[in-house]
Amino acid sequence: MNRRTLLWMLALGPMAAWAQPGSEPSGPQPELPNESLIIVTRDGQAHRFNVEVASTPQEQTVGLMFRKSLPPDGGMLFDWGGSRESSMWMKNTLIPLDMLFIKQDGTIRSIAENTVPQSLAPITSRGPVRATLELPAGTAVRLGIRVGDRVKERIFGNAE
C-alpha cells in the first residue's frame, strides 16, 4: 500500500475498510454495549438517550447498517478514541439519521440532519471531533438540539 492510499484510508475512517476486497458487511451486527448519554440544549433541557457504543474499527464499519428501526431515545455513538476528522456515509443504512459531530469536550461541532438512506455521499464533521452520534432522523429539530449544545457521556469525562 502506498502513502497516498494510506492517507485516503485514514481520512475516510470506517468507510475505508471496504477498500479491501471481500470485507463488505452483509447484515446487521449484534447489538453493541449500551450506555446512557445526555444532551443538554441551550435552554437547559436535558434529553437522555440509551446508545450503543461502537469503539472498534469493525463495529464502526458496520454501525447501524441493515437495521430497520431505531428507538426514539436510541442511537449509536462512534468513539474515535481521540480528536480527528470524521467522515461517514449511509451505504447499506436503511433508516434516515441525524448525525451529531462532537468535540473532545462534549460540545456539538456540527449536525447533519435527515441523512439519505443508502447514500454514498460523504458526511463530514468539518473539523476534529472525538465522536459521532447517530440518532433517528428528526431528533435534532424535535428536541431543539443545535451546534454548541453539550453532550454528557463517559468518553467526554463529563458523565453524570
Per-residue pLDDT reduced to its tens digit, 2-59: 443 433 444 454 444 444 445 678 889 999 999 999 999 999 999 999 999 999 999 9
Are the C-beta atoms of 85 and 59 separated by less than 8 Å? no
C-alpha cell at 10: 485514514
What's the CA gap between 97 and 106, in Å, rounded? 20
Q: Which amino acid is at 154?
A: R
Q: Torsion over CA of 9, 13, 17 and 19, rounded to 10 degrees?
A: -40
Q: With H, G, I as helix, E, B as strand and everything else as coil, classify residue 60.
A: helix
- pLDDT at position 112 is 98
- pLDDT at position 160 is 78
Question: For residue 65, what are the domain limits?
Answer: 3-17+34-156
- pLDDT at position 22 is 55
Higher-confidence residue: 4 or 130? 130
What's the CA gap between 69 and 79, in Å, rounded? 22
Are the C-beta atoms of 117 and 96 separated by less than 8 Å? yes
Q: Is residue 28 part of a domain?
A: no
Q: What are the helix and strand counts (H, E) for the chain?
A: 3, 7
What's the CA gap between 112 and 137, in Å, rounded? 10
CB count in 10 Å sphere of residue 27: 9
pLDDT over threshold 80, residue 64? yes
- pLDDT at position 8 is 40
Average pLDDT on 102-126 reads 97
Q: Which amino acid is at 8?
A: W
What's the CA gap between 10 and 4, in Å, rounded? 10
Per-residue pLDDT reduced to its tens digit, 88-102: 999 999 999 999 999
Q: Is residue 25 part of a domain?
A: no
Mean pLDDT of the chain: 89
Percentage of the chain modeled with pLDDT above 90: 81
Q: Is residue 23 part of a domain?
A: no
- pLDDT at position 3 is 41
- pLDDT at position 72 is 96
- pLDDT at position 26 is 83
- pLDDT at position 1 is 43
pLDDT over threshold 60, residue 143? yes
Q: If you ran DSSP here, which 8-state letter would residue 159 be given?
A: -
CATH number for the domain including 47?
2.60.120.1140
Q: How many domains does the chain have?
A: 1
pTM of the model: 0.85
